[in-house]
Amino acid sequence: MSSPGAKMSVLIGERFACVRIAGRANFSSSIDFRTLLGALLEKGYRYFMLDLSECALMDSTFLGVLAGFGLKLNSPQPAPAHAAIELLNPNERISELLENLGVLHLFRVAHGPLVVPEGAYPCETPSTNPTKQEFTRACLEAHQTLMALNAANVARFKDLTQFLAEDLNRLKEQ
């Protein structure tokens, strides 16, 4: 589980959070990403921009975490009014993956320069140092989310989710 994950940097303003994701957004950075977005949402941030200008790729675990957050912001209950997540400058590969997995509709997509509101300032990004069990649970939940959002994903991830569920049970018994 030592695959290097994406580097994340955050700018926050009044109800605005911009997360720049650089490198490979994969399972190893997905827990920190989920923790970061959850903490920002709890603090009252409602508009999220993900600057993907330097993001080379996203694996299915990271995409599942992203889709779960998009689903949370798009659901009528208990999501706050006027909550949104915007993807800035996703490359063609990431856009195709979001489209093929049937989750692109959860996001606004924009292209162009990052426009940061006046008064925005850098924020620390958490590092959770997750265990193998936490990684496995996060991977399982991310793929279950993708399967729930699009029936076509069941065939793609059925065997993987079964393996992850069995692995998680073994880890719990240890």
Question: Which residue(s) pair with 7 in the sheet?
Answer: 22
Cα separation of 146 and 143, whole Å?
5
CB 51 within 8 A of CB 10: no
For residue 66, what are its two tokens?
């992203």
At 106-148, the pLDDT tens digits run: 999 999 998 888 888 888 777 788 899 999 999 999 999 999 9
Contacts of 128 (CB under 8 A, 6+ apart): 31, 32, 35, 134
Specify whether the CB–CB gap between 120 and 12 falls below 8 A. yes
What is the model's pLDDT at position 128? 81
Low-confidence spans in the chain with pLDDT less than 50: 1, 79
pTM: 0.90
The single-letter code of the amino acid at 84 is A
Q: CA-to-CA distance for 42 and 54, rounded, in angstroms?
A: 27
